[in-house]
Amino acid sequence: MSAIHSPVVYRSGNSLSETDLVNCLLELTLNPYPTAATLKVIGSLSNGERNEFLRLANMHHVIIRGLDPVRKAATANGNTGLSKWATGAISKEEARVQNALVHLHAVCTELEAAGCPITVMKSLDHYPDLGSDLDLYTVASASRVIAVMQEKFNAKVLDRSWGDHIAQKWNFSIPGLPEPIEIHVQRLGQMGEHRALARRFNSRRVTKSVQGKDFFVPAPEERIIVATLQRMYRHFYFRVCDVVNSAATVDSGALDLVELKRATEHVGIWPGIASYLCVVSDLAKRHRAYGLRLPTLVTQAAVCSGDQIRVRNSFLRVPILSCGANLYSGQITKASFNGDVAGTLRLGLLPYLAVAAAVSYKITGSDKGIW
């Protein structure tokens, strides 16, 4: 289906604003037919704007997907300078991705052989791009995972924040791999509140082949679950890759929305799932002229839409008070109603951790060590 629409790109004086650049990234990655106006805008960027564009593309994990249309258009139009710039950035990122995949496959292979079932979350959804770290989930014990990582890869266990301790996450650094490996052990969620839901990531995992290497990844429903937990219940911001990845998952027809609702309604995060999908649909529609085919069971449960999303401090921000607080309230109420004492207690710690992070950020300019 071709998309014919007006580009959502606006000049701010003589330069592009951060919002303009993020909108360019959204259109270049969502629309199979980027407008000539958008490609022209990218071609007219100054050196400083090009650097900013690459910074944002890196933060949104879409360097390759964002620059490939630019490279193709520049090559077709004989713009050698622009083509060389785009090709250079893509080649550098491809080398990083290839190195990360080699190490990731080795880690997954060794953990599996040691009886630690591993599911690669999020990271391979970005392919041909890659995130800034490598996220894994396992049902094995932390002690077993740590032993394998240290014995097989001479891994260093990185310092853990308060949030890491509560959520049962460990980060590892291994020689030859710049990206840290983050392993979620038996739990998911900001406060590690999801244990039964997390087991689905192992029991329903599927195989994905990337560059000739096979990995276990979440089923489509779990891919949406983990994206929602991260965006609607933790960070309260979207990256461009979240919109692109999830739109592709829904467009593929592989997502079972009835199963997704059944799995998440019981634990109180169905409204967040529905909101996440509606935001993705609205942003997709804005940049390719058609959204996602979402039934009323999704749209009626949503408490947030793409109209409420704004670019601020480099990301697509979700309003915390009107959306985040609503979703948190619903989740903790459901956990309490279900008699999930452990989950309720864990979720009850979230406001205190948030306050500590806010205070730390105000004093030091960083919340490192908290989240």
Q: Average of pLDDT values for 354-364?
A: 62
Assess whether pLDDT exceeds 60 at residue 6. no
pLDDT of residue 10: 44
Residue 214, both tokens: 């096979």
Residue with tokens 């071709």: 2
* d(C-alpha 132, C-alpha 58), whole Å: 8
Give the pLDDT confidence of 12-71 residue by residue, as tens digits: 456 789 999 999 999 999 998 888 888 889 999 999 999 999 999 999 999 999 999 999
Going by pLDDT thresholds of 50, 70 and 90, the confidence category of residue 145 is very high
Which of 279, 267, 258 lies closest to 330 in space, CA to CA?
267
pLDDT of residue 4: 37
Give the pLDDT confidence of 35-45 residue by residue, as tens digits: 888 888 999 99
Residue 145, classified by CB atoms within 10 Å of its CB into exposed (0-12), middle (13-18) or buried (19+), is buried
* d(C-alpha 339, C-alpha 342), whole Å: 9
Helix (H) or strand (E) holding 185: strand 181-185
Q: Average of pLDDT values for 154-176?
A: 95
Q: In the chain, helix, strand, coil percent, each to 5?
A: 60, 10, 30
Question: What are the distances in angstroms from CA 259 to CA 232, 255, 268, 327?
Answer: 20, 9, 15, 20
Give the pLDDT confidence of 268-318 residue by residue, as tens digits: 999 999 999 999 999 999 999 899 999 999 999 999 999 999 999 999 999
Mean pLDDT of the chain: 92
In eight-state DSSP terms, residue 320 is I
pLDDT of residue 7: 45
